Amino acid sequence: MALNLDEALDHTRTGDIWVFRGRTRADRAIRALTNAPVNHVGMTVAIDDLPPLMWHAELGRSLPDVWTGERHSGVQLHDLRAAVTRWQERYHQQAWLRQLTPEVGRAEEDALLRVIARLNGVSFPSTSRLAWRWLRGRTTRPKALIGRRADPDPMRPAVAYCAEVVALTFEEMGILPEEYPANWYDPGKFWSGDKLPLSDGWALGAEIAVGG
């Protein structure tokens, strides 16, 4: 199944996942390190009458952050159309949409807004720090890490990469159990070929390719 961007924007709802695969050296390095087919992940925020937005973390600062009105790198909230277009056209990335079921309710939306207020503006890690952060999350027993994070302040980490932001957000919304630390996740965990340990009652659909 495939959709053009207009169709995808009409269909997407809060909590839907966007995954991307690119061809640059950095994109290939991320996929090689994590043994995953994708290198970036974000999620839809579509609340009330606002245009659909993307909640993610990236190095770029070319788009204005809808939450602050400023341009900055790191954890950001972008206009979804502008973000997907930029990742497709400037970064030459293939995009896919995975839809979350059931639809989120007011409690999940309120939790999401609290996460955005807390994490917006957190810096994106350097390549070496990102790799070390992810490896540290993957090489410790999950049960030993319940309730622990990779930062002194678990509510607002010093740095965060894209999959970490989505995982933290899903945890706060009750969609993802707090079985693993957020830095255990990588973009490939949000691809259907992997096993994402969602909480009971939640599911993500198959990837839908999104054209320009």
Q: Per-residue pLDDT tens for 166-205?
A: 999 999 999 999 988 888 999 999 999 888 999 999 999 9
Task: Grade residue 6 by pLDDT with cuts at 50, 70 and 90.
Answer: very high
**Strands 40-45 and 53-58, bridge-based pairing:** antiparallel
> Domains in the chain, ordered, with CATH?
2-210 (3.90.1720.10)
Q: pTM for the full model?
A: 0.88
Instruction: Report the alpha-carbon distance of residue 114 to residue 30 in Å, rounded.
Output: 29
Buried b (16+ CB within 10 A) or exposed e, 33-46: bbebbbbbbbbbbb
| 145-156 mean pLDDT | 53
Q: Per-residue pLDDT tens for 45-75?
A: 999 989 999 999 998 999 999 999 999 999 9
Q: Which residue has the higher pLDDT, 82 or 156?
A: 82
Q: Which residue has the higher pLDDT, 134 or 102?
A: 102
| 5-20 mean pLDDT | 97
